[in-house]
């Protein structure tokens, strides 16, 4: 993405940034649902003893989400910074991109937090773990915060559309 040099390009630049934010929000929701699916399986199977291979698979999925989050954080920051520059240069006048970008950044940070709680649960389920078993507390917070995040993302998606 580059800054437009003419004012007629500012609307297309604005639309491009909005489209990028839409895609980010959709990906956030997808990752949040994947995390919920993992948590649901863990709850269902935790008393049956989850295999080390399954725990490794969950860890791999969390690593993939972490990589995607790093990319999304970079894109969000880029969009925010580029739009701030465009507003300062008088090329863009709408600050909606900055506001939505900052909100998308907050939801991304929220997803990172629930992912860390789920990661703690996975580590506690490892048979070789010496961690204190606080699985129920972690999962309770996970579900509470993930529901809030889902609502926040839905509100942001409505604002972008």
Instruction: Provide the residue ranges of all domains of the chain, joining segments of one domain with +.
Output: 8-160
Q: Is 152 helix (H, G, I), strand (E, B) or coil?
A: helix
8-160: CATH number? 1.20.120
- Report the predicted TM-score, pTM, of the whole model to 2 decimal places: 0.86
pLDDT digits (tens, 9 = 90+) for 101-117: 999 999 999 999 999 99
The pLDDT, as a whole number, for residue 44 is 86
49/136 Cα distance (integer angstroms):
15
Sign of the CA dihedral running 38, 39, 44, 47: positive
Average pLDDT, the chain: 88
């Amino acid at each position: 993405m580059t800054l437009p040099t003419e004012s007629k390009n500012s609307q297309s630049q604005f639309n491009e940034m909005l489209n990028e934010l839409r895609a980010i929000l959709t990906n956030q929701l997808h990752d949040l649902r994947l995390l919920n699916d993992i948590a649901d399986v863990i709850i269902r199977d935790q008393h049956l003893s989850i295999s080390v291979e399954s725990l490794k698979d969950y860890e791999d999925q969390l690593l993939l989400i972490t990589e995607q989050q790093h990319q999304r954080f970079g894109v969000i920051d880029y969009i925010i910074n580029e739009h701030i520059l465009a507003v300062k240069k008088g090329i863009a006048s709408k600050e909606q991109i900055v506001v939505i970008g900052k909100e998308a950044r907050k939801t991304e940070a929220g997803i990172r937090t629930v992912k860390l709680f789920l990661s703690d649960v996975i580590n506690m389920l490892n048979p070789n773990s010496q961690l204190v078993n606080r699985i129920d507390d972690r999962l309770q917070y996970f579900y509470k915060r993930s529901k809030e995040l889902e609502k926040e993302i839905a509100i942001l998606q409505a604002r972008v559309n």
